[in-house]
Chains A and B, each alone.
Chain A
Amino acid sequence: MRLVRFFVLIAVLLIGGATGATVLITVEEALELAFPGAAIKRETLFLDENQRAEVHELSGVQTTSALATRFVATNDGGWVIGYAYLDTHLVRTLPETVMVALEADGAVRTVEVVTFREPLEYMPREGWYGQYVGRELDDDLALKRGIRPVTGATLTARATTEAVRRVLAVHKVAGGGETQ
């Protein structure tokens, strides 16, 4: 009987699960989530040594790539409504990539995980990433300050927080670009 109940539960969840989102999303889907319906333009930013040093200084994070991918989202009128950056970094022994979307004024709009190669047990739940929304590059953007850690996924929480700090610093150093 117990087994029967178990399989009934599986069937119910399968039907329920069929309408849900996939485990991880693509870059394209992350952009659509962050900026629904917006036109997206891809840019490559090349940071020189001085800019990288400045990013390090501002973010407090050691590693910064010389190459940054930025997406600029514009509305129908051609006005910039935000930016999105991809940041790839190590979690434990394997890398993850997050997309950090920013408002036009530079505050964090969303953070989405697009690649996660560690076991999914180390990935915080969706709601946890909501902590970054509206954040700017300040002292409160740190674990055990404005960002609450996740038991069992501390390294991911740390890596994600560093990634958001790094992106905000890159955005500051590289400049927001044109508004229209």
Chain B
Amino acid sequence: MTGRKFLRIGLILIIMSVTTSLVSAATPNDDRADELERQIEELRTAMAELREAGLAEERLAEIERRLEILAVEVENLKVGEAAVKATREGEHSGLGPAASKVYRKDHGVSVGGYGEALLERFDDTRDDGEESGAVDRFDFLRAVVYFGYKFSDSWIFNSEIEFEHASTSSGGSASVEFAYLDYLYRNQFNLRAGLVLVPMGWLNELHEPTVYLGAVRPRTENRIIPTTWRENGIGAYGAIGGFDYRTYVVNGLDASDFSAKGLRGGRQKGAKAKAEDFAWVGRLDYTGMPGLTAGLAGYFGDSGQDLEDADGDSIAVGTSILDLHVEYRYRGLELRGLYSRAELGDVARLNEALGYTGDQSVGETLVGGYVQVGYDVLAGRGKSALTPYLRWERLNTQKEVPEGWSANPANDEQLLTLGLAYQPIEQLIFKAEYQNIENQADTGVDQFNLSMGYIF
């Protein structure tokens, strides 16, 4: 073939490429970037042949210049416009800023999800030898879809819609687990408003099944920090130096559903939440050293929500919850610890108002915590993980009760969990564990758990 014919082919390819890139401008995506890359490769081949055919040097230079423009545009498509500016004057051979602007569309919607199924097999006998009467259970615990939307670089919406226990016709529920707007201002300071996750403990914010060891969540993070705990509120978060912080004002817990077993019933979950009492919750974590996270969180507010005693006086039920938490990771090793303590006021009046007698008292002080160790024996060998783990936990939801009431020794518990987690890839997890559960009433029932979980 002659040089002129090659030139024609070359020019046709350039025109095709430019056309494609302009179409891409409306809906930038990876396929189009790939297609552009392929066309650039073809162009280069054609050009090499043109050069061999002895085409005029200046024409080749022009084609090369256009080729570079296309290469820059492909990169812009991939990286996203918000991040790309002309690097330095005279060194950015792409289109001018105005022409580039059409690419400045960003991905708006993000979708994700996670879920887990849990099989619990209970011992037939309790620690005291009596029949446990516990019925084994196989539950599709939760299926969650995540939707996010990026309105702009500053305004972002995030949400999780949770389907619990598979079917509303069999005791399941559909809930908005969180739904909030973020205003991103600086690394150091951002605002958040909506139905937010209360930033306490380990699992309340990070509760995807692949993020924690254990088929069943630690009991402390169920009864004292009632995961998944979400309330309506507004606040700020950010990172300063090696520290991460969150500070929110949320509607308070509702004490009318507190029980001897803890605070779990007091969550209002953003559903027509009583807003007579508000609470402040804050968290500070040190994350300055890779592998280490250590911090504390506190929740302070009243939970009475206008509950009244027999005399018609309102009961404040001042509620303070504190947690200290630490995690350390080194190679395959994963150490985690949590201590949590809650203190409640006006418990005697609350018990009377709720009709609780004897050992049904809500705890004046609730204490719980655990230490956990896991080691991924496949660490660093690809995407699989096989992690044996051990967790020791103690909790007492009636550490102190008011005078005139008694504590049920069954609420003073100790759990030892020995398990194995297998992740064929990072987004899937299978866990098997045995839990030795003891309590001061000697009525503990051990259990064996199997679970599967996924995230995407």
Contacts and interface: CB of A to CB of B under 8 A. Distances in A.
A22 B186 contact: yes
The binding surface of chain A is classed by DSSP as mixed
B424 interface: no
* Most-contacted residue by chain B among A16, A27, A40, A158 (CB, 10 A): A27
B85 A127 contact: no
B188 A117 contact: no
A97 interface: yes
Interface stretch (A6-14, A103-111, A164-172): A6-14
Contacts of B112: 92-93
A84 to B, nearest CB: 10
Contact of A154 (B83, B148, B426): B426
A17 to B, nearest CB: 3
Nearest to B234: A6
Contacts of A97: 78-80, 83
Contact of B249 (A3, A66, A71): A3
A24 interface: yes
B40 A67 contact: yes
Interface in B65-94: 68, 71-72, 74-75, 78-80, 82-88, 91-93
Interface residues of B, number: 80
A47 to B, nearest CB: 9
Contacts of A31: 87
B97 interface: no
A50 interface: no
Interface string A90-127: 00111101000000000000000011011111000111
Interface string B340-376: 0000000000000000000000000000000000001
The binding surface of chain B is classed by DSSP as mixed
Nearest to A130: B290
B274 interface: no
Nearest to B185: A17
A151 B327 contact: yes
Contacts of A131: 290
B332 A144 contact: yes
Given A2-B278, A3-B278, A86-B75, A9 B85 contact: no
Interface in B278-301: 278, 280, 287-291, 293, 300-301
B40 A46 contact: yes
Contact of A23 (B91, B92, B187): B187
Contact of A94 (B93, B110, B383): B110
Contact of A155 (B156, B327, B426): B426
Contacts of A177: none
A44 B38 CA distance: 14
B155 interface: no
Contacts of A121: 205
B187 A126 contact: yes
Contact of B236 (A13, A128, A149): A13
Given A27-B79, A67-B71, A71-B87, A149 B329 contact: yes
A137 interface: no
Nearest to B150: A117
A77 interface: no
B247 A144 contact: no
Contacts of B44: 46
B148 A16 contact: no
Given A21-B186, A92-B456, A151 B383 contact: no
Contacts of B134: none
Contact of B247 (A9, A67, A119, A150): A9
5 contacts: A120-B184, A125-B288, A144-B331, A148-B331, A154-B426
Given A114-B83, A120-B182, 11 more contacts: A13-B236, A18-B186, A20-B187, A27-B87, A44-B68, A86-B75, A115-B79, A117-B80, A119-B156, A127-B288, A154-B211
Q: Which 7 A-B pairs have the closest CB atoms?
A: A17-B189, A145-B380, A148-B291, A144-B379, A44-B71, A88-B78, A17-B188
